[in-house]
Structure 1
Amino acid sequence: MKATHLQSTKMLIRVLSTALFCMVLPAQAAPDRASIEQALDLRQQWLPLTRDLMQAPAWTADGQAFYYQLSVEGGFQFFRQSLKHGHTELAFDHQQIAAGLAAASATEVSALQLPFGSFRYSSDESAIQFYALDAQWRCELSQPVCSQLDSKQRPKAFGVVRDLQVPASTMPVLSPDGRYQAIIHHHNLQVLDSAGQLLLSTDDGHADHFYDVDSISWAPDSSALLLVRVQPGTARYVTRVLAAPEDQLEPKVIQQLYPKPGDAVDVDQPVLVKLQAKTVTPIENALFANPYRIDQLAWQQDSSAFTFRYTERGHQRMRIIRVDAATEKATALVTEDSPTFVNLWAAFHQPLQHGEQGVVWLSERDGWAHLYRTDRSGKQLQQLTSGNWRVRQVLAVDENAGQIWFTASGYYPEQDPYYEQLFRVDLAGGNLTALTERNAHHDVVLSPDHKHYIVRYSRVDLPYVAELRQSSDGALVRTLAQADISRLTAAGFRPPQPFVAKGRDGVTDIWGLIVKPQNFDPEKSYPVIENIYAGPHDSFVPKSFWPFGFHAGGDKVIGMQALADLGFIVVQIDGMGTANRSKAFHDVAWQDLVDSGFPDRILWHQAAADSFPWYSIGGGIGIYGASAGGQSTVAALLFHPDFYRVGVAYAGCYDNRMDKISWNEQWLGYPVGPQYAASSVVEQAHLLQGQLLIINGEQDSNVDPASTMQLVDALIRADKDFDLLIVPGGEHSVGRSTGPIRYVQRRQFDFFIRHLQGSATPDWNRVQ
């Protein structure tokens, strides 16, 4: 897809798009201040207008009840329902939780708009735990008392470098039978009996090669324990200045452990400790000699072995390693090799406990994501699923029933290939059973015993319906909720319009959505703006009912409608290089993030313009995005200036050498080489032709803010005009929980009105 045919396609796109710019866009009335204010307030206006829209269902530990969030008058509440009788009650006292959380956090909390969307009960159901206000919390159910939970583990920056400035835990790790305890003392392991008598200890641990307390894992029969010895990686710190702190006049300096591509990562060496023999054995690392990460260490239930996942540096090899506890020998149960990347973001494996043991895992070795199984020797037994569709989520591997439950997309050729459906297949292969088939996207939550499941199905034009079903045959037990959007529709909501066009190869369907103004007039022409995110770790065009930000990216989606209401057509597209299609579709991103699917996107826009007379691309297209979408926004203006003319870039990773190690080495590989510079928009800043607004949060902890300032520096050196907005205290994408988000959105709206519509914007400084 990247050779001569692609070059010809790009040349054709350039010729066609240049011709289109000869067209003249009819003049439109500029949005006034009131119109812009109304668009900025759209989410707050629409959010209260749904009823019975269910979110975040979950089961109690015993499987006898489930609980969920439901939209109600004034906001939302959490409800609990018994499985057997269907009796429904509030999951907890919302007023009490709000009061307890408000007192503990010194923050105003509303009982009908609690600052969390999901929770779980404690083991004895005396409390609930959740994440809110940038922290983990536990709130008692018997009284209005909440407390912040501290992590017991030392943080690991982007999962690969431990923060050694945080002291390791000194708490003992008890064996399952309670007879022994393991601790780390002066970087060494010590194992003591219940009377505190030392049974064994190591003496080779030191600051530069220490035993890690957080990795200690006892064998189920307490005969042995597993842990890792760590050779620390690079302690790179990003330094930021908080220029306008709220609690003092002078600035503050903030440092964050932040490994970048090419930095040395922690090297973990698994170590097996046997109590009876009093041996401490590092596992021979021939099968895992060049680790990016070693994780998911787990004992077999019979204590005969343990397994772990090994990801090789460069992300082109992944292994599931099994270590026999008796022989201390390592075997590769699975080896995944790829000439591009093994996708750690979609990886799955589960060790089997019975029979031949072995493992079930997810692989793209035949070009699609499917399930496979091996025995304990690593011999491939069977490919369990196959076809031109992909397994998306493995919900359960039930060895007792001999079944695997999973969702998959693309199974029904006549449906949107991203819609997830529920399936079951035998653990031995065969008897693939589809349990859902509606032309909709399905979210499924299995009960702990796998005998029931809650399914929520929806589309962008179909509000959520939630049902309780029987797992054996998919039979309906009862309908749990059916969202009512009558008031939302009366307020002006109209669902977006899916649109499909062929991609760069002339064969592959590219899917997207078109959002129109509420007062859309098919007799008018509208300039087009694309909301872009092309990160290879996922797909991003919404497939379920989406207006209010109940799922990742939702706040950005409601922004699409608000922007459209100012006289634009706003679209979102999943081009090649994004995930959840075939391996070939995904591989387009390999070592070429600057591609961003633009050859597919431009053809999609042209097909839409051919299909709809109101879809005007003759004056150039606008584009905006955050994070990787910010990088793509700038790339659009640099490398496709005849098509994309106006861009607003938020918090971009403009040079992938400056960004976090985890995301960038996954797609650009290791070692750091010319492919990183080739994807850098900083290196090519001199190519800017269109109008660009750069927005960044001063305290971005996801992408080093220096990446933005290096782009700014390159643009200045190239004598380019652009606009820049730095938000003091703003986080990544200018802050979801802090920062003046409304102001930032208004600046984006103004920028597109001025440069894409050619209209003057209100004088916001003039007192009204």
Structure 2
Amino acid sequence: MKFPTFLVAFLIATSSVLQAQKKQVSLEEIWSGAFREERLQSLQSLNNGEEYVVLNRDRNSGSVSIDVYSYKSGEKTRTLVNSTDIPEIDSFQAFKFSKNENKVLLSTEVEPIYRRSSREIFYVYDIASKKLTKVSDQKIQEASFSPDASKIAYVRDNNIYIFDLNSGETKQVTSDGEINSVINGITDWVYEEEFSFVKAFAWNPTGEKIAYLKFDESEVPEFSMDLFGKDLYPSQHVFKYPKAGESNSKVSLHMYDVASSASQEVDLENAVDLASNSADKDDVFSAYYIPRIEWTADPMQLSVQVLNRHQNDLNLIFVNAKDNSSKVVLNDTDKAYVDITDNLTFLEDNSFIWTSEKDGWNHIYHYDESGKLLEQVTEGDWEVTNYYGYDPKSKRIFYQSTENGSVNRDVYSIRLNGRSKTRLTEKEGMNSADFSADFSYFINSFTSVNTPHVYTLHRAKDGKQVREITNNAELLKKVEGYDFAPKELSTINVNGNDLNMWMIKPSDFDENKKYPLLMFQYSGPGSQSVSNSYFNTNDYWYQLLANKGYIIACVDGRGTGFKGADFKKVTYQELGKYEVEDQISAAKKLGERNYIDSDRIGIWGWSYGGFMSSNAILKGNETFSMAIAVAPVTSWRFYDTVYTERYMRTPQENPTGYDENSPLNHVEKLKGDYLLIHGGGDDNVHLQNTMRMVEELVQANKQFDWAIYPDRNHGIYGGNTRLHLYNMMTDFILEKL
């Protein structure tokens, strides 16, 4: 049908008016939380499997309560604890139930230490009697109920203590704890950061024993940071931080007998020659890690995961708590490295579930108590991305995987023998589950590029939806009023691989125009930045940039995750080589598109992404005209042992791998505009990285821009800090790209 010319003109004019009526997003809106998604509050299933509890806060009164809700109806059924009923405390920030749920540990006056650790004042609240008992007058760490809830074990000043709730007496378990020297029962900095746990002790199921780790960090080099604050003189934070190739803590396993008050070290080397990969058993490389301890279904049998320093040889060891004898039941090795997970699960007969990449993809395995393989439960060219647990009633395992594509996630159940697999989610996108204690229900969290998070309740046996809990319809309605463009998912063939990519174009995109391109990436081993999920905070910033005439794209190159072990581990011993090659090649390929200005391609990233963007503008100086690096690693020699050596081995063994891909050694190649940003109080990626980069650039007589945020950590936030940071980056992009 042919439209009259005046009608076509009218339609174009009307469209332009409607477009003009759309609001333009601002950085102030973004960082004030105007587009924050409604998330389901953190909930905890009760033992009955029919109810869950939520920590609720009343903003008007300031009171806090632990409220009970029905899974099936979503209705509140009762309140277990309310701070208004406890005159001794004003509020509490977190809670932990005893095993039988008759007592609750209340956490108050929380003082953060590092990423996962904190010191707190703890109280025990007896739900029936409403009696409140203070555990210690001093701030303590990782308070934990004994199985019968008669005692509390905790750590104070690097020593373990036991508080008896009946007698009120406190017993000291260890006495050699010393700051920056010996740690009992909690992890050192590098374990907390890279193995993702702090509590390094565990009651056995009958409360007779406590297994704990001891860290002797006396030989670990110290790192110091100046914190400027507002006083006349700065303060200095000094802590143990093992950089690649340097001495780690010497970690040992100990067994404490509650009745006799005696501790004994467990000889793990009696079970396996843990230093077999080292020519000299006493050299620095012979040290090993104990990244997990967990009691088995047998109350007198402890499982211990022991990993060699190269992190390519993992032993699962069973320790008999009666005589502290030990034996290896499973050995998992890899040419590159073995990832540590929390997936180990013991069944009633003490057989166990384990996940491994040994067939090239991450899958679930079932072993008997002796370590004999009973079944590879899942298999295929896809990854198990989350293991939710095992239901002994239905004899089914619940997990999440990429069976529907690496940018998607679905939830499944499967029998122990690998048969009768059932897909429990239907919508294409990112699905994740939170199961009730008895695996009768699960709450599904769903999102896609077009849908902010929707939370629904489902039956675990078949995935049938019971009810919708909450959605983000209000957010969708709000963003309709803004001039936003969709996030487009696709793939791009680079260096022989189909790489996942998303792209955001200006809302008034015209394929006959040429646009500057800004690329974002993280690119760290096993990571994922391209997924079928809704906007995060940075995506709203990208919408702001798109409205100003930029195209933004993100490509997950080699080394990223969820496409098999070979794809992920190709970067082994050469971090920054293949990932950078892929970003440069992707930029060149995108620059060939007729709507992208190949002379105006920029790249930015944070942390590992800052390492990448720095390398990209140096090694890809003919491709990238601008780069922003936030909190970047500039040499892996400066980063910690556990993370760095997992992917690079030590600098002593692999000096060229460290140096050839270090931005410090390529500064003379800088041609474009470069902005370098760091937090002065970054305990993770130290400011040293940026200061060394600055010195190398200065000595090479290269001009660049840089900014330091005093006392800010790796996240660079607090007050107006994030807003200031993004204003600065926006101005830099608008001026330079």
> TM over 0.5: same fold?
yes
Kindly indicate whether the alpha-carbon contact (under 8 Å) linking 1:349 and 1:359 is maintained by their aligned counterparts in 2. Answer: no
Among 235, 255, 258, the residue aligned to 1:252 = 235
Q: Structure 1 residues 591 and 326, CA, compared in 2 at 3 Å: closer, same or farther?
A: same
Within a 5 Å distance, the mapping from 1:578-597 to structure 2 comes to 578-595=560-577, 597=579
Q: How many angstroms does 1:583 deviate by?
A: 0.4
Residue 465 (str. 1) matches residue 454 (str. 2): yes
Kindly indicate whether the alpha-carbon contact (under 8 Å) linking 2:217 and 2:240 is maintained by their aligned counterparts in 1. Answer: no
Q: Structure 1 residues 308 and 54, CA, compared in 2 at 3 Å: closer, same or farther?
A: same
Match of 1:312 in 2: 308
Q: Structure 1 residues 271 and 41, CA, compared in 2 at 3 Å: closer, same or farther?
A: closer
Q: Structure 1 residues 705 and 46, CA, compared in 2 at 3 Å: closer, same or farther?
A: closer
Among 224, 234, 246, the residue aligned to 1:239 = 224
Kindly indicate whether the alpha-carbon contact (under 8 Å) linking 1:55 and 1:69 is maintained by their aligned counterparts in 2. Answer: no
Kindly indicate whether the alpha-carbon contact (under 8 Å) linking 1:242 and 1:729 is maintained by their aligned counterparts in 2. Answer: yes
Q: Deviations over 1:41-80 (max 9, x none)?
A: 2415772587xx443452342433346799xx99xx9997
Kindly indicate whether the alpha-carbon contact (under 8 Å) linking 1:730 and 1:739 is maintained by their aligned counterparts in 2. Answer: no
Paired with 1:749 and 1:681, the residues of 2 have a C-alpha distance of 24
| Mean Cα deviation higher: 650-659 or 394-403 | 394-403
Q: Structure 1 residues 619 and 96, CA, compared in 2 at 3 Å: closer, same or farther?
A: farther
Within a 5 Å distance, the mapping from 1:665-680 to structure 2 comes to 665-670=645-650, 672=652, 673-674=654-655, 675-680=657-662
Among 621, 631, 634, the residue aligned to 2:611 = 631
Residue 694 (str. 1) matches residue 672 (str. 2): no
Q: Structure 1 residues 43 and 257, CA, compared in 2 at 3 Å: closer, same or farther?
A: same
Paired with 1:90 and 1:42, the residues of 2 have a C-alpha distance of 38
Q: How many angstroms does 1:315 deviate by?
A: 1.3
Q: Structure 1 residues 465 and 569, CA, compared in 2 at 3 Å: closer, same or farther?
A: same
Match of 1:261 in 2: 244
Q: How many angstroms does 1:304 deviate by?
A: 3.6
Match of 2:283 in 1: none
Kindly indicate whether the alpha-carbon contact (under 8 Å) linking 1:331 and 1:378 is maintained by their aligned counterparts in 2. Answer: no
Kindly indicate whether the alpha-carbon contact (under 8 Å) linking 2:431 and 2:445 is maintained by their aligned counterparts in 1. Answer: yes
Paired with 1:94 and 1:178, the residues of 2 have a C-alpha distance of 26
Q: Structure 1 residues 671 and 233, CA, compared in 2 at 3 Å: closer, same or farther?
A: farther
Paired with 2:23 and 2:612, the residues of 1 have a C-alpha distance of 26
Kindly indicate whether the alpha-carbon contact (under 8 Å) linking 1:55 and 1:68 is maintained by their aligned counterparts in 2. Answer: no
Paired with 1:526 and 1:386, the residues of 2 have a C-alpha distance of 44
* 3-state SS of 2:454 partner: strand
Within a 5 Å distance, the mapping from 1:210-609 to structure 2 comes to 215=200, 217-222=202-207, 224-228=209-213, 230-232=215-217, 234-243=219-228, 245-246=229-230, 248-272=231-255, 280=264, 282-286=266-270, 287=272, 288-289=274-275, 290-325=286-321, 328-344=324-340, 347-355=341-349, 357-409=350-402, 411-412=403-404, 416-484=405-473, 485-505=476-496, 508-546=497-535, 554-595=536-577, 597-608=579-590
* 3-state SS of 1:172 partner: strand
Q: Structure 1 residues 65 and 349, CA, compared in 2 at 3 Å: closer, same or farther?
A: closer
Q: Deviations over 1:375-418 (max 9, x none)?
A: 22222222111000000111112334322111011x13xxx422
* Corresponding letter in the other structure for 2:219: T
Paired with 2:735 and 2:373, the residues of 1 have a C-alpha distance of 61
Unaligned runs of 5+ residues in structure 2 are: 1-21, 113-117, 144-154, 187-198, 276-285
Paired with 2:310 and 2:569, the residues of 1 have a C-alpha distance of 15
Paired with 1:277 and 1:92, the residues of 2 have a C-alpha distance of 35
Unaligned runs of 5+ residues in structure 1 are: 1-34, 106-115, 155-164, 189-204, 547-553, 757-768
Q: Structure 1 residues 149 and 42, CA, compared in 2 at 3 Å: closer, same or farther?
A: farther
Paired with 1:483 and 1:340, the residues of 2 have a C-alpha distance of 42
Among 144, 161, 164, the residue aligned to 1:171 = 161
Kindly indicate whether the alpha-carbon contact (under 8 Å) linking 1:698 and 1:726 is maintained by their aligned counterparts in 2. Answer: yes
Q: Structure 1 residues 39 and 279, CA, compared in 2 at 3 Å: closer, same or farther?
A: closer
Within a 5 Å distance, the mapping from 1:193-208 to structure 2 comes to none
Kindly indicate whether the alpha-carbon contact (under 8 Å) linking 1:57 and 1:454 is maintained by their aligned counterparts in 2. Answer: no
* Corresponding letter in the other structure for 1:64: E
Among 5, 20, 26, the residue aligned to 1:39 = 26
Q: Structure 1 residues 655 and 598, CA, compared in 2 at 3 Å: closer, same or farther?
A: closer
* 3-state SS of 1:712 partner: helix
Q: Deviations over 1:280-314 (max 9, x none)?
A: 46324142444442132222343242111112101
* Corresponding letter in the other structure for 1:405: F
* Corresponding letter in the other structure for 1:488: V
Paired with 1:335 and 1:309, the residues of 2 have a C-alpha distance of 10
Paired with 1:206 and 1:136, the residues of 2 have a C-alpha distance of 14
| Mean Cα deviation higher: 562-571 or 704-713 | 562-571
Kindly indicate whether the alpha-carbon contact (under 8 Å) linking 2:491 and 2:498 is maintained by their aligned counterparts in 1. Answer: yes
Paired with 2:335 and 2:28, the residues of 1 have a C-alpha distance of 48
Q: Structure 1 residues 676 and 605, CA, compared in 2 at 3 Å: closer, same or farther?
A: closer
* 3-state SS of 1:449 partner: coil
* Corresponding letter in the other structure for 2:267: I
Q: Structure 1 residues 127 and 284, CA, compared in 2 at 3 Å: closer, same or farther?
A: closer
Q: How many angstroms does 1:520 deviate by?
A: 4.0
Q: Structure 1 residues 446 and 167, CA, compared in 2 at 3 Å: closer, same or farther?
A: same
Q: How many angstroms does 1:500 deviate by?
A: 1.2
Q: Structure 1 residues 153 and 386, CA, compared in 2 at 3 Å: closer, same or farther?
A: same
Paired with 1:217 and 1:703, the residues of 2 have a C-alpha distance of 31
Q: How many angstroms does 1:89 deviate by?
A: 9.1
* Corresponding letter in the other structure for 2:699: R
Within a 5 Å distance, the mapping from 1:719-730 to structure 2 comes to 719-730=701-712
Paired with 2:658 and 2:23, the residues of 1 have a C-alpha distance of 40
* 3-state SS of 1:47 partner: coil
Q: Structure 1 residues 399 and 655, CA, compared in 2 at 3 Å: closer, same or farther?
A: same
Q: How many angstroms does 1:623 deviate by?
A: 0.8
* Corresponding letter in the other structure for 2:694: V
Paired with 2:252 and 2:703, the residues of 1 have a C-alpha distance of 52
Q: How many equivalent residue pairs?
A: 653
Q: Structure 1 residues 731 and 37, CA, compared in 2 at 3 Å: closer, same or farther?
A: farther
* Corresponding letter in the other structure for 2:484: F
Paired with 1:492 and 1:336, the residues of 2 have a C-alpha distance of 52
**Cα RMSD (Å):** 4.4
Paired with 1:47 and 1:95, the residues of 2 have a C-alpha distance of 30
| Mean Cα deviation higher: 694-703 or 446-455 | 694-703
Q: Structure 1 residues 223 and 128, CA, compared in 2 at 3 Å: closer, same or farther?
A: closer
Q: Structure 1 residues 404 and 718, CA, compared in 2 at 3 Å: closer, same or farther?
A: same
Q: Structure 1 residues 92 and 326, CA, compared in 2 at 3 Å: closer, same or farther?
A: closer
* Corresponding letter in the other structure for 1:624: W
* Corresponding letter in the other structure for 1:711: M
* 3-state SS of 1:725 partner: strand
| Mean Cα deviation higher: 722-731 or 366-375 | 722-731
* Corresponding letter in the other structure for 1:40: L
Kindly indicate whether the alpha-carbon contact (under 8 Å) linking 1:514 and 1:570 is maintained by their aligned counterparts in 2. Answer: yes
